[in-house]
Amino acid sequence: MVGSATLAGLGSLALPQPIVFRDELVYSEAAKALASGHVPAGYGYGWGYPALIAPLYRVFTHVPDAYVAIKLVDAIVFSLAAIPAYLIARRCVRPSLALAVALLTVLLPARTYSYLVTTESLAFLLFLLFVLALLRMLESPTLRSQLVVMFVGALAFETRRQLIVLAAAVPLTILGTSLLEARDVRQALRSALRRYSAVWLAILAAVAIGIAKSITGGSGGVLGPYAALAHGYELGPILTWLRNDIAVLGLVLGVVPLIALPLGLARCLRRVAATERRALAVTTVVLVALVVAQVTVFSSTSFGLGRVHERYLFYVVPLVFAVFAVWLDDGMRRPRFVAAGLATAVALLPLLLPTKGHVSAGIDAPTLHALGFDTLTRRPQFGSSFALQVDAFHLKAVIVSAVLALWFVISRPKRRWLLVAAIGLAFVVVDLATHQGIVDFGRGLEQLAAGDRSAQLDWVDRRVGRDDRVAVLVVAPENTCAAATHERRHALTTEWRVEFFNASSARVVVVGVSPDTALPFARAVVGPTGRVTTATGLEPRFVVADRRVTLAGKRLAVDQATRWALWRIAAPLRVLGARGTGDLRAMVCDRRA
């Protein structure tokens, strides 16, 4: 655990700036707001993660220092997931195998999410704590254990809204374990209702609150900004993405644990199996099914952006590891033909993936990124009668899967640690490739915005103080400008940097571009006198803008790295030399300025 936190922390230091916009902006702005003692209007996301990192914005005077501290805290939080992973497995297997589960958990390529100012690290820890609490409740359904499950589940949901699936997991696991213990369905239902009364009351209360929030519509209801995902699905895209998510699952798990999953579940679900093992099996089946279904439905919408989302699947991986450990602990029993069939099926799963995909620098799908899925181009099929399209990525993925599957088939119980080591080595290789991709992507954004790593990132705060309110004027040139695409990207990337690293930034004013900001923003026009106006009014005291734009006021500072300047405004906000919006947009196209 300490080693994982150290490696993740050191790795995160190589990333010079945030790379996931708008997510990192949203959570950093919410944390800054909490640190200053107020709540931003219309936030709508969970408060768990902002509450975790808000104290760092109070402790550190400069936001860049807080950014480094946040990444180190995220590394520690992600590594702490080893503790519940160990305890989950330890209930069913010997200590050495439980330690193996904990080690594989912190070796997951998802560890690179600790580089980001996002919820993944904390949500992963809370997800596993919820699973641990749920297993204990299923084994001993006391009032205390039920209250613990509901409390941890609420924390998880308040950290990441997608973890609403945990609310469905509770009744399903209760019914599943009750059916295994009872003689018939009626007896199972009576037992579940009687033994888990506190849970049912809590579910009824949660449903009532959810209905009330949906009716009032406050902050999008229970789901907040994700409320748009509650409707509008089509069966065709859902089935397509279900195929994709199943195809990638073997690679995410390291191949071998997925092959062993049916065998391990069979061991756990025997009549003579211990209560702990049956609870683990039911919980694993329920949560894997719910998480895969949720990710599939999300990916099928326009919000999924056509990407494979390992980023949302990895939560359930430690559960599969625990079932895998049960199979190892029981002597790796595998009927010859069953084992060969499972190994072949899992090894060929990557063939179900499409030949075109988009993965953003390894963030959404680190395993696929390491195998080159994000650089795919369509190639001819191998054989006119072959229904699946195959290219270099598929060949690499199948070869890697086949090697691990073969190792599963030929391994013997005395060499089970070599099997665990092979999975861990695969994760390390993927992690190294993902780390480099993420760092290179971050440096590319840094060069696009600034090109100078020695510049002070919080140059605005250092001039006006963190408590002053500064507006950011973002201007993009007309499409007829020869460098329109570059200038637009430069403007957006620079605004992100100013917003993220300066607590004084409070509002964004845009001309000719749609920002991906977490701050309140307004579209502006320029009148004949050069006055900049918005529909909501505009009277800023300080404005940050491209230094090629001259404002009416006093220029206080210039960031030589980004060629943006800070102005004290002589109200109203006016652009000198501009007689309309077109003149302002032309200014940021002139590279001689």
Helices and strands (H and E) in the chain: how many = 23, 7
Q: Which pLDDT score, from 0 to 100, does residue 329 have?
A: 93
Q: Give, in order, the Cα–Cα distances in Å from 586 to each of 34, 477, 510, 511, 550.
A: 39, 6, 15, 11, 13
- Taking alpha carbons only, the member of 564, 386, 356, 555 closest to residue 475 is 564
Residue 360 pLDDT level (bands cut at 50, 70, 90): low
- Taking alpha carbons only, the member of 131, 135, 127, 105 closest to residue 46 is 127
- Is the confidence at residue 366, as pLDDT, over 60? yes
CA distance 313 to 109: 12
Q: Which pLDDT score, from 0 to 100, does residue 148 have?
A: 95
Mean pLDDT for 355-362 is 57
Mean pLDDT for 347-369 is 75
Q: Which pLDDT score, from 0 to 100, does residue 563 have?
A: 81
Mean pLDDT for 390-402 is 83
- Is the confidence at residue 376, as pLDDT, over 80? no
CA distance 403 to 144: 47
pLDDT: which is higher, 481 or 283: 283
Give residue-wise pLDDT tens across range 274-322.
899 999 999 999 999 999 999 998 888 877 777 788 889 999 999 999 9
- Taking alpha carbons only, the member of 281, 354, 363 closest to residue 91 is 281
- Is the confidence at residue 46, as pLDDT, over 50? yes
Would you say 393 and 351 are in contact if contact means Cβ atoms under 8 Å apart? no
Q: Picking from 203-212, 218-227, 415-424, which range would have the lowest pLDDT averaged per residue?
A: 218-227
Q: Kindly report the CA angle at 538 between 536 and 541, in degrees rounded to 5?
A: 150
- Is the confidence at residue 354, as pLDDT, over 80? no
Q: Give, in order, the Cα–Cα distances in Å from 478 to each of 233, 353, 474, 492.
A: 37, 40, 13, 15
Residue 381 pLDDT level (bands cut at 50, 70, 90): very low
Contacts 24+ apart (CB under 8 A), 33-40: 36/467, 36/503
Q: Picking from 257-266, 468-477, 481-490, which range would have the lowest pLDDT averaged per residue?
A: 481-490
Q: 314-345: b or e for each residue (b if 16 or more CB lie within 10 Å)? A: bbbbbbbbbbbbbbbbbebebeeeebeebbee
Give residue-wise pLDDT tens across range 437-474.
888 888 887 777 765 555 688 889 988 887 788 989 99
Q: Which pLDDT score, from 0 to 100, does residue 592 have?
A: 47
- Taking alpha carbons only, the member of 575, 586, 361, 576 closest to residue 473 is 575
- Count other Cβ atoms within 10 Å, centred on residue 190: 12
Paired residues of 574 in beta bridges: 531
Q: Which pLDDT score, from 0 to 100, does residue 31 have?
A: 92
Q: Picking from 19-33, 116-130, 241-255, 361-375, which range would have the lowest pLDDT averaged per residue?
A: 361-375
Mean pLDDT for 193-222 is 77
- Taking alpha carbons only, the member of 144, 128, 126 closest to residue 196 is 144
Mean pLDDT for 97-125 is 94
Handedness of CA 223, 228, 229, 232 (dihedral sign): positive
The pairing of beta strand 505-511 with beta strand 532-534: unpaired
CA distance 271 to 289: 23
Give residue-wise pLDDT tens across range 405-426.
999 998 888 888 999 999 999 9
For the chain, give the percent of residues with pLDDT over 70. 90
Give residue-wise pLDDT tens across range 488-505.
888 888 888 888 899 888
Q: Give, in order, the Cα–Cα distances in Å from 248 to each of 66, 275, 299, 354, 498.
A: 36, 31, 13, 11, 37
- Taking alpha carbons only, the member of 320, 426, 318 closest to residue 83 is 318
